[in-house]
Amino acid sequence: MRELRQWLVSSIVIASLVSSVFAQYMESEPNDSRAQANAFTLNPGEWIQGVSMGSTGSEQDYFLVRTAAAAPAIYRYRLVLTSDIVGHTGEIRGQGQNPAPPGPWPGPVGTGNGNEGWVQRSSSATNPPRFVQWYGFGRQEQIYYRVTGTSSTTEPYRATLERLEITPTNLGTFQPGTITISTIGGTVLNTDLWVYDGNFNAIPGYGNDNESTDGGGTGTTNQSLLRRDYAPGVYYLALTRWDLVNEQGSPSDDRWRTGGMLFPENAGAVLSSASTTTPATFTFTVTDSAGTQSFSFTGMESYEIKWFRFEVVPEPASVVALSVGVVSLLGFHRRRARHSGTPNIFPLT
């Protein structure tokens, strides 16, 4: 009996320690709509728990999930949905898009129309099954997450947060000015892409789903072609299968301008709607004033976005010209200093 009591005490202590490390958050009704969503901030390993036995009315559970702050980087987040009775579905919710009029870039971009729907839905065929996935950058991005069940899912569900830091593939350096990124001829799959700046902000208008004649393409494929101007700096390319979803509207030179968008309060998060379980292989090209380079990758999984880093640097001739200009300026100041009798001192600014 004494041994049994000791075992029970030990079990309670262990359970308490586990609970203190990985917090759990219980749903509270009503949370049947986006406006009523339970708001939680999750660290990796923490989970949400609830009960759903249907897909309408009070049986649908909405959550506004914010990720904990982290150092600036690219992170893959997952909410993995489990239950003793399988059959639940998880969704990331977004909105439809009012398309911009077609035309060349620069031009207008689409706007959200407020009509709510799913932009990513979990699948029982993925590994692990029934997860949703998105990407963020350590800035406490948030998503709307909905869980629904069936008449047979009488046991509680648990949605556990996972986080994985992603190291982008380095594409090298390119010249300032017009740069074209294209997947035409590199795959038979429907591609989608977006370019981010060095601070991981999506650049408005720097995305393409389906190439168009307005954007310099053929207008006959489901591949992507993005032709934009770039100043010196660091950039990140997000490349995936259709449909890439963030808070940005599609630009005027995209042939598919009615894709889903995240709500403004979800700005910073980005995801792919593609639940396809067959790994994908892509080849794409990057063309600047110095020529065209080709890049390939394999193994794109369900909901995955491949990330690439590239840098735009001044042309060598520009660097030489800048150096000559600095030398000439220094010489001018030295000559002026000798004639004026004042010391040649340059302020540090």
Are 183 and 255 part of one and the same domain?
Answer: yes
pLDDT in tens, 34-86: 999 999 999 999 999 999 999 999 999 999 999 999 999 999 999 999 999 99
**What is the per-residue pLDDT for 296?**
94
What is the predicted pLDDT for the residue at 55? 96
Q: Confirm whether 187 is domain-assigned.
A: yes
Last residue within a domain, chosen from 132, 166, 200: 166
- How far from the centroid of its chain's Cα atoms is residue 256's Cα? 19
- The domain that holds 62 is classified in CATH as 2.60.120.380
What burial class does residue 91 get, using C-beta atoms within 10 Å of its C-beta: 0-12 exposed, 13-18 middle, 19+ buried?
buried
* pLDDT on residue 316: 73
The reply to whether 173 and 90 lie within a common domain is no
pLDDT at residue 336, as a whole number? 35
Report whether 219 contacts 211 (CB < 8 A).
yes
Q: Would you say residue 267 lies in a domain?
A: yes
Same-domain status, 116 and 139? yes
Please give the model's pTM, rounded to 2 decimal places: 0.86
Whole-Å CA distances, 43 to 132, 156, 161, 164, 274 = 16, 21, 7, 12, 26
Whether 12 is covered by a domain: the verdict is: no
User: What residue numbers bound the domain in which 120 lies?
Assistant: 24-166
Is there a single domain that holds both residue 98 and residue 189? no
Domain co-membership, 128 together with 187: no
Domain co-membership, 182 together with 289 = yes
Do 34 and 112 reside in the same domain of the chain? yes
Dihedral sign from CA coordinates of 340, 344, 348, 349: positive
Residue after which a domain boundary falls, among 166, 182, 204: 166
Going from the first residue of the chain to its last (349 residues), give the mean pLDDT of each consecutive group of 10, the final group possibly shorter.
35 41 92 98 99 96 99 99 98 99 99 98 97 99 99 98 99 99 96 99 99 98 98 99 97 98 99 92 96 94 97 74 44 39 28
Is there a domain that residue 1 lies in? no
Residue 152 and residue 68 in one domain: yes
Does residue 101 fall inside a structural domain? yes
Residue 196 lies in a domain: yes
In a domain, 86, yes or no: yes
Domain ends where: 166, 194, 227? 166
Residues 271 and 144 in one domain: no
| Per-residue model confidence (pLDDT) at position 21 | 67
Instruction: Please indicate, yes or no, whether residues 152 and 187 belong to a single structural domain of this protein.
Output: no
Is residue 273 in a domain? yes
If asked whether residues 150 and 35 sit together in one domain, one would say yes
The number of domains in the chain is 2
Question: Do 174 and 215 have their domain in common?
Answer: yes
